[in-house]
Chains A and B, each alone.
Chain A
Amino acid sequence: GAGVSQSPSNKVTEKGKDVELRCDPISGHTALYWYRQSLGQGLEFLIYFQGNSAPDKSGLPSDRFSAERTGGSVSTLTIQRTQQEDSAVYLCASSRTLRGDQFFGPGTRLTVL
């Protein structure tokens, strides 16, 4: 596609459930990033991938959060046993190369009840 796509666009879940968020980067982009946007914390880095490897996972808030990337393309961010403080907009970005400009998707709005 022309841009970064994310699904679902909105997700409402109950506390304690697991959720999976998907990101499709721009075709040919080797680097992929996950960020979180919340009212209290602003925009925060979570993790990035170069190919299928994740050199920097320092932003993942807890071990309930994990991410993977397969085939150097699609990435999935998984949150286990969701908590209310996980409610936020989860943004994915990709760049052609590791130090290239990052292009963002529209985000997934997660609401944990």
Chain B
Amino acid sequence: GDSVTQMEGPVTLSEEAFLTINCTYTATGYPSLFWYVQYPGEGLQLLLKATKADDKGSNKGFEATYRKETTSFHLEKGSVQVSDSAVYFCALVLQGGSEKLVFGKGTKLTVNP
């Protein structure tokens, strides 16, 4: 079945460090890909998305590129801040199929000053 695999956390970085959170997917069709973020005590928020191969999603300094050849959608940020501390979820929706989001397990990021 369709699935998303994220790197295991937790991830701890110092402020201004480079961030990569790996995400790969398995899908029978052509998915749209998403990163959601859950800040402490808050609900899930859409961070960025990409709907076709080679598309790059970006928001708040975060980027992810839809790589069909490696079935990946890795999240990157060049310089993290303390306020980026949160749990990050990679997810997919199959285009033309069920509209449900399929999520990875989540990766907890802590950024220290």
Contact = CB atoms under 8 A, between A and B. Distances in A.
Contacts of B89: 43
B43 A48 contact: no
B27 interface: no
Contacts of A98: 99
A56 B43 contact: no
Contact of B98 (A35, A56, A101): A56
**Interface residue range, chain A:** 20 to 34
Interface string B42-59: 111110010000000000
Contacts of B42: 106
A21 interface: no
B46 A58 contact: no
11 contacts: A35-B101, A42-B106, A45-B101, A45-B102, A58-B98, A91-B43, A99-B95, A102-B101, A103-B46, A105-B43, A107-B43
